[in-house]
Amino acid sequence: MSRSEPVEASNFIRNIVDKDVAAGKNDGQVVTRFPPEPNGYLHIGHAKSICLNFGIAGRYNGRCNLRFDDTNPERESEEYVNAIKQDVSWLGFEWNELRHASDYFDDLYEFARDLIRQDKAYVDSSTAEEVREMRGSLTEPGTPSPYRDRSIEENLDLFQRMKDGEFNDGEHILRAKIDMASGNINMRDPTLYRIRKVHHVRTGDKWSIYPMYDYTHCVSDAIEGITHSLCTLEFEDHRPLYDWVLDQLKTSCHPQQIEFARLSLEYTMLSKRRIIQLVEDKHVHGWDDPRMPTIIGMRRRGYTAASLRDFCERIGITKNDAWIEMAVLETCIRDQLNKEAPRRMAVLDPIKVTITDLPEGHEQMFSFANHPQDESAGTREVPFTREVFIDRDDFAEVPPPKYQRLVPGREVRLRGSYVIKCEEIIKDETGKVLELRCTHDPDTLGKKPEGRKVKGVIHWVSAVHGIPAQVRLYNPLFTLPDPAKADSLEAAINPESEIVLNSCVIEPALQQAESEQHFQFERIGYFVADRYDHTAASPVFNRTVTLRDTWAK
């Protein structure tokens, strides 16, 4: 607990719950739930909902359940269930109870019979097309189904036989009997149950009918004693139906549904359909590709759980359709890693530098602070030799204005070491710089050079002790702030979203790096040892984010 999490900001949902608790509503209890459908991996948008639901519950010493909305067995799988549990835990939250909508299939069935007995539901034997036509349009009312007035007995019988598997998919549905002329299309006799003769991960082949979201969700909430059912804006139109179902059923618990805006993040795509497409069309290497907006992808990229929580806190909760800039996310991870990541030196695109006025075989050990502002982070040994590597962009034969790095005839500081001066450039026949021959000022170790100012400082790695490594650079997956606006997914993909560097050299201390350990490579950015591919024998680092760069190029 070295660093405190940011102060909680007020938002309209917190205000509502505050009032409810103060008024003693629900006996002052607060119970929420995070209800994903297990049909894909969680993404940063889900993180917003997770932080909200668990956050609200935590704030009032309440409870938050993890509930899988598993009412559509065709799209759902155990792989996703497990992944979701891991992601929620990794984010740092503990659910009160783990539930499944399918736990309530028996109750749901009995409640549906209750609705039929009340003449509030009926079996419709129209085809899907007929149902759609009779629903009307946005501006025209619907027309009642010819099956709308079936007797209660017939409905009960038909519904039972639907359950018993006497009919094929699509032959009948159970509909609520509400108002075919409602301006709200969700109230035009919405479907409650459909026939689906498919195997369910948890209930097996017991059911040949499955309840719809609108019917299942409110009942599940009520069964679990949820007090505040938080969901995204597109469900606003469903709230009257949510309330209608619970009112007919006269449940003792009637949760309050409150809607908030889903997250939109620039240069990413947060629709599940599109994310699946990225994976299936192999635009990325998988759900956990470091370029993905999935929790597991961001984790692999090097985002920490705390940084994601911080992000969710910073963006707030409102009903505005807001677009969040990438800079917000990047600030969150930089803030945290700046405080916590040990510093190291790594050269991504090496040029050899020979310090000619040092004897052949010269070797020296320096002690470097692991963190410039935090002494408790300790020190490490860094070997210095006659030959070192520096990064190619830290040298310019013809420097741009205000360039502070190495230039022919000029001096620069090798970080933590001597000031060197470039005396000679050695190139190959194509003009590519192969080696720089430099001299050093022996009187500049730990002190400023006399009689002149040397502004530039560059990082380096001993050419004899450096360790070869692979470093993966990541850039936004899309070239457009709103990739959904592109003609196609591929048209918006950034061809430079992943750059793999195979000739990098890292300082020896990095030999001890463990998978998922974070570092700052000085002057370059924050990197993480790849969760899967990194080994001591062949190190692999992913760039999480660059350092802030205010050098006006």
Partner RNA sequence: UGGGCCGUCGCCAAGCGGUUAAGGCACCGGGUUUUGAUCCCGGCAUUCGGAGGUUCGAAUCCUCCCGGCCCAGCCA
Considering only residues 337 through 396, tell me which ones interact with RNA, judged by CB under 7 A.
Answer: 338, 343, 371-373
> One symbol per residue from 276 to 305: x for binding RNA (CB under 7 A), - otherwise; what is it?
------------------------------
Q: Nearer to RNA by C-beta: 500 or 552?
A: 552
Of 96, 331, 470, 475, which one interacts with RNA (CB under 7 A)? 331
- DSSP code per residue over 322-348: -EE-HHHHHHHHHHHHHHHPPEE-EES
Query: Is residue 105 a contact point for RNA (CB under 7 A)?
Result: no
Clarify whether 272 is annotated catalytic: yes
Residue 478 is classified by DSSP as B
Query: Is residue 80 a contact point for RNA (CB under 7 A)?
Result: no
Separation between Cα atoms, residue 375 and residue 344, nearest integer Å? 15
- DSSP code per residue over 130-175: HHHHHT--SSS-----TTTT--HHHHHHHHHHHHTT-S-TTS-EEE
Any idea of the CA torsion for 452, 456, 459, 465, to the nearest 10 degrees? -30
Instruction: Using the rule CB under 7 A, give the single segment among 90-98, 354-362, 403-411, 420-428 that binds RNA.
Output: 403-411
Beta bridge partners of 369: 379
Query: Is residue 318 a contact point for RNA (CB under 7 A)?
Result: yes
For residues 37 and 68, the answer to whether their CB atoms sit within 8 Å is yes
Query: Is residue 420 a contact point for RNA (CB under 7 A)?
Result: no
Clarify whether 262 is annotated catalytic: yes
Q: Nearer to RNA by C-beta: 289 or 358?
A: 358
CB of 6 to RNA, least distance (A): 8
What six digits make up the tokens of 133? 């036509």
Instruction: Using the rule CB under 7 A, give the single segment among 20-28, 88-96, 192-200, 295-303 that binds RNA.
Output: 192-200
Q: Please report, as residue ranges, which positions from 516 to 535 form the binding site for RNA (by CB under 7 A).
A: 520, 522-523
Of 92, 225, 316, 383, which one interacts with RNA (CB under 7 A)? 316
Separation between Cα atoms, residue 317 and residue 238, nearest integer Å? 20
Q: Please report, as residue ranges, which positions from 428 to 457 form the binding site for RNA (by CB under 7 A).
A: 444-448, 456-457
Separation between Cα atoms, residue 121 and residue 138, nearest integer Å? 23
Q: How far is CA 431 from the centre of its chain?
A: 44
The contacts of residue 151 (CB under 8 Å, 6+ apart) are none
Query: Is residue 306 a contact point for RNA (CB under 7 A)?
Result: no
What six digits make up the tokens of 47? 């993180």
Query: Is residue 423 a contact point for RNA (CB under 7 A)?
Result: no
> One symbol per residue from 29 to 68: x for binding RNA (CB under 7 A), - otherwise; what is it?
------x-x-------------------------------
CB of 366 to RNA, least distance (A): 9
Q: How far is CA 21 from CA 13, 61, 93, in A?
A: 12, 11, 22
Strands 518-521 and 343-344: parallel
Q: Please report, as residue ranges, which positions from 107 to 166 form the binding site for RNA (by CB under 7 A).
A: 126-128, 131-132, 135-139
Q: Nearer to RNA by C-beta: 307 or 417?
A: 417
Query: Is residue 483 a contact point for RNA (CB under 7 A)?
Result: no
Q: Nearer to RNA by C-beta: 150 or 289?
A: 150
Catalytic member of 99, 120, 177, 272: 272
Separation between Cα atoms, residue 490 and residue 281, nearest integer Å? 10
Q: How far is CA 163 from CA 123, 158, 181, 211, in A?
A: 12, 9, 30, 11
Instruction: Using the rule CB under 7 A, give the single segment among 91-99, 293-301, 323-331, 430-438 that binds RNA.
Output: 323-331
Of 77, 86, 96, 191, which one interacts with RNA (CB under 7 A)? 191
| Residues catalogued as catalytic | 37, 262, 272
